[in-house]
Amino acid sequence: MLEKQKALRDPTTTPKKQVCSIFNLMTHTVAIAGCSGYIGTHMTRAALNSGMQVYGIDPALDEGFKNHDRFHEVQTVEQFCATDADCFYLALQPNHRDPYLNRLIANGKMILSEKPMARAREPEICDTIVETLAQSNATMRYNFLYLYNPITYHIIKFLDSHPEVTITSIKALVEKNRESRRNDRNLKFMEPIQYQETIHSLALMLVLRGELMHYHGSDFDATFPGGLIAVGDSFLYNVPSSDYDAIPDGRFHGSLTASGFRMDIITNFKRLDHKGLPTRPQKRITISGRTKDMPFVIEADYQRDHEMLEINGETVPLPDFDPYTLVWYDILTPDNQTPFYVPPDEHLARTAYRLSALLWKTSYIGEELVIDSDKTLARASLSYPNALESGRLPQYRSRPTREWVEKHLIDPVIDVTEGLRTRNSHK
């Protein structure tokens, strides 16, 4: 099986149908809560296409799943948690997970969860999950998609090939238009952009530096020796849904600076990008550093169907792969994967959550923040609920006329221009 794992992620891997055929997943059963949501649908299809038995629960169940001979509909939380599955995946918003988590952790199950660990307004849930898992036989993993991607495998392979290597900077540029009123997916509730999307870049940063520095996912002093400085600015969503009370941030740019390291971040889900042009989807990561003999630069784009990787200007061939199938493979065959030194568990998820909260706070107060301990980092997580409870956050107001103009006049032009920019950028 190890050879199959290497074949999957080796640059010479053959087309997708042949790649998927090497998975030994047909004997596995998974249970998916939220199986007809956006990510849940992708993960359910990947499981079914890999030959697995799937038990799914969703209030708006996809008709295609109902008719699939390996899909089994579940009606209640109790039935879901009692399923004899190898892994239970919670493709749910944080505020809908508790009934499942309480039972699954108590029963010692393998759990895969979406991020973030908790809503921005409920940071205490992160500590509760960590403490409860410590008293249980359950295993928790979080679906930070970058971490299950062959791009990350090749980056780590490059880092591990040098006896002395240091990462001095990471730049993360992640953009997608989530304001268009013509896309029904955008109607779903989203956390502030720092928690909703920047957290993926933060998790990748923590894992890559962990490969070199060998720290535990919750050890602040080892992760950021000498402390951490955060600075940033943010802009509010023009939210296309009435499901909000407080309006979340929809664009963020800022940085984290530690001893010998800096991370620059732009995360944008608004109609217009950081240059004022119609936003085109991209997930670009630039990593710079030094080996013993030379400096290096790694350029990557994790955008689905447009993945690319260059190391020192040379293109690294990537296999034709389905990222959602890779998640199942790594979760269900853990003995056959090359493990991260810092796994995507509850400790990594909590640290990434706290860094998200820190970035939200520095952009909210408009000041540089200096963090010198895990205690002060944890305290930053309280800023959002404190601001919400005190009524200091901007509140959602329905504006029917403006919303009609955006949906019928502005968004059609933006969407077409966005598509043209995307196609031209990948020619």
Structure-block tokens of residue 207: 């894992």
Q: Nearest CA to 118 among 94, 154, 142, 90? A: 94
> What's the pLDDT tens digit per position in 364-388?
999 999 999 999 999 999 999 999 9
Give span(s): CATH 3.40.50.720, the chain.
Answer: 2-144
Beta bridge partners of 235: 251
Which regions of the chain carry the CATH code 3.30.360.10? 146-389
**Residue burial 303-315, b: 16+ Cβ < 10 Å; e: rest:** beeebebebeeee
* Predicted pLDDT of residue 16: 33
Q: What is the pLDDT of residues 211-227, one digit of tens each?
A: 999 999 889 999 999 99
**Residue 420: pLDDT over 60:** yes
Amino acid identity, residue 286?
A: T
Residue 395 has a CB neighbour count (10 Å cut-off) of 9
pLDDT digits (tens, 9 = 90+) for 6-36: 343 443 343 333 344 445 788 899 999 999 9
146-389: CATH topology is Dihydrodipicolinate Reductase; domain 2 (3.30.360)
Strand order in the sheet with 282-291: 314-315, 308-311, 295-301, 282-291, 165-175, 261-268, 249-258, 228-236, 369-371
Q: Topology of domain 2-144, per CATH? A: Rossmann fold (3.40.50)
